[in-house]
């Protein structure tokens, strides 16, 4: 942030664009951002990965275990296309399609064939060429360029989708031979994916109906979400377990746990199948909280909305009052993407400027402090 106390209109405009004065730190232009449970990571347009926040297990990837309230460069000299911040670990895919993970590894969620913790990126075993990866608390999933889904880590409720409940230290092929376009590893021991035909499938824990098949029976193989809806994107998460997805026309649907109104349907009743989010908004993308019970989304016009639990200001609405309907994030900023984490969320402008809001006890908002904020603050 600029050091000057008196800020002119010109300097304020520069700050919004991600620039500071000549003596202040320069903010990298991010191409994507991912909020984890208590840390956040992003990738610049040049492919450099930065992380900030909690680092007790080395999830920032800077070879230390010290928290940092400003972005630190992930070591290794790798060029990433995208990263995914999980519970206490992070995974990313390089521009060449190689998957790397770092941080906590007690359950094998780094996919390295062992349970050794690493504070810098290590290659996921198997030599697969991935298009994307998704990290959560104790497991990770990825989709190859050929559409095969693999998961690794904890599997006590079948969240790896390989028809077993055996945990894996290396990538295990998701059963049923489906061709996936995307996959989302979710917070409470389940996972979901979108096929190349835009059908949603989920597997693992189903205590809250998060598999979307109208039952509460867990399944270690993918089951199709009922309703026949065609989705363009999907995100699973939450302490209990909920999923939200957006159709090609921008309608958002959610299902599963709704104890805090995280489904955005105007009440707090769980749903065992997709239900339309209230408000009639047209969304471009949606993100279910990484490990807490809230959801955020961005409209095709660039406005951010959040709903559900708000004890730390993670809805970004200027208060800590929960909302069972979509509530506009304060500030009127225009965003291209949003990522909901544990008790914080982050979003990205078209100029590559990252903003975060909510809990900041570990520095996960990236603004150089540990003071929480119920409104967006710029990553420093």
What integer pLDDT is reported at residue 13 of this predicted model?
30
What mean pLDDT is predicted for residues 46-61? 98
CB 223, CB 202: distance < 8 Å: yes
Domains and CATH numbers, the chain: 9-378 (2.130.10.30)
What integer pLDDT is reported at residue 25 of this predicted model?
54
What mean pLDDT is predicted for residues 190-202? 98
Q: Can you spell out the DSSP letters for 114-171?
A: S---EEEEEEPTT---EEEEEE-SSEEEEEETTS-EEEEE--TTSTT-SSS---EEEE
Query: Is 1's pLDDT higher than 70?
Result: no
What integer pLDDT is reported at residue 291 of this predicted model?
85
Question: Of 1-5, 283-287, 333-337, which range is least confident?
Answer: 1-5
DSSP β-ladder status, 242-247 and 231-237:
antiparallel
Which is nearest to 224 in space by CA: 243, 207, 252, 240? Answer: 243
What mean pLDDT is predicted for residues 109-130? 98
What integer pLDDT is reported at residue 18 of this predicted model?
36
Query: Is 221's pLDDT higher than 50?
Result: yes
What mean pLDDT is predicted for residues 140-154? 98
Q: Please return the burial class of 359, using the count of CB atoms within 10 Å of its CB with bins 0-12, 13-18 and 19+.
A: buried
- How open is the CA angle 98-100-104, to the nearest 5 degrees? 160
What integer pLDDT is reported at residue 20 of this predicted model?
36
Q: How confident is the model at residue 290 (pLDDT cuts 50, 70, 90)?
A: confident
Query: Is 331's pLDDT higher than 80?
Result: yes
Query: Is 224's pLDDT higher than 60?
Result: yes
**Number of other CB atoms surrounding residue 175 within 10 Å:** 18
Which is nearest to 345 in space by CA: 307, 380, 299, 302? Answer: 307
Q: How confident is the model at residue 328 (pLDDT cuts 50, 70, 90)?
A: very high
Q: How confident is the model at residue 310 (pLDDT cuts 50, 70, 90)?
A: very high
- The Cα–Cα gap between 380 and 375 comes to 15
What mean pLDDT is predicted for residues 171-200? 97
Type and span of the H or E element at 15? helix 9-16
What mean pLDDT is predicted for residues 218-242? 96
Q: How confident is the model at residue 26 (pLDDT cuts 50, 70, 90)?
A: low
What mean pLDDT is predicted for residues 359-363? 98
What integer pLDDT is reported at residue 370 of this predicted model?
98
Query: Is 276's pLDDT higher than 80?
Result: yes
Query: Is 21's pLDDT higher than 80?
Result: no
Query: Is 69's pLDDT higher than 80?
Result: yes
> What is the reported pTM?
0.93
């Amino acid at each position: 942030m600029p050091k000057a106390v008196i800020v002119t209109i010109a300097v304020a405009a520069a700050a919004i664009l991600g620039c500071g004065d000549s003596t202040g730190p320069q903010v990298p232009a991010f191409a994507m951002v991912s909020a984890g449970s208590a840390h956040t990571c992003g990738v610049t347009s040049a492919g450099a990965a930065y992380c900030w926040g909690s680092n007790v297990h080395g999830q920032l990837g800077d070879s230390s275990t010290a928290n940092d309230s400003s972005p630190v460069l992930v070591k290794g000299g790798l060029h990433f296309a995208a990263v995914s911040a999980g519970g206490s670990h992070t995974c990313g895919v390089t521009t060449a399609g190689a998957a790397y993970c770092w941080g906590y590894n007690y359950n094998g969620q780094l996919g390295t064939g062992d349970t050794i913790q690493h504070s810098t990126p290590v290659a996921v075993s198997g030599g697969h060429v991935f298009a994307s990866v998704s990290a959560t608390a104790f497991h990770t999933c990825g989709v190859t360029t050929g559409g095969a889904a693999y998961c690794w880590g904890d599997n006590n409720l079948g969240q790896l989708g390989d028809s077993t409940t055996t945990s894996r230290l290396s990538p295990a092929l998701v059963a049923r031979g489906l061709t996936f376009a995307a996959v989302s590893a979710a917070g409470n021991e389940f996972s979901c994916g979108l096929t190349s035909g835009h059908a949603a499938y989920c597997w693992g824990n189903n205590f809250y109906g998060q598999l979307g098949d109208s039952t509460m029976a867990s399944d270690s193989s993918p089951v199709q979400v009922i309703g026949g809806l065609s989705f363009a994107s999907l995100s699973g998460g939450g302490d209990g377990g909920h999923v939200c997805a957006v159709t090609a026309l921008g309608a958002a649907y959610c299902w599963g746990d709704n104890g805090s109104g995280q489904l955005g349907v105007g009440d707090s009743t769980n749903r065992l199948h997709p239900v339309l989010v209230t408000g009639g908004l047209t969304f471009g993308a949606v993100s279910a909280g990484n490990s807490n019970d809230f959801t955020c989304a961005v409209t095709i016009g660039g406005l951010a909305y959040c709903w559900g639990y708000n004890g730390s200001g993670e809805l970004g609405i200027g208060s800590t009052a929960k909302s069972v309907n979509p509530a506009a994030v304060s500030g009127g900023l225009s965003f291209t993407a949003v990522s909901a984490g544990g008790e914080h969320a982050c979003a990205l402008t078209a100029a590559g400027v990252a903003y975060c809001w909510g809990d900041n006890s570990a520095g996960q908002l990236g603004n150089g402090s540990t003071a929480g904020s119920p409104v967006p603050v710029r990553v420093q």
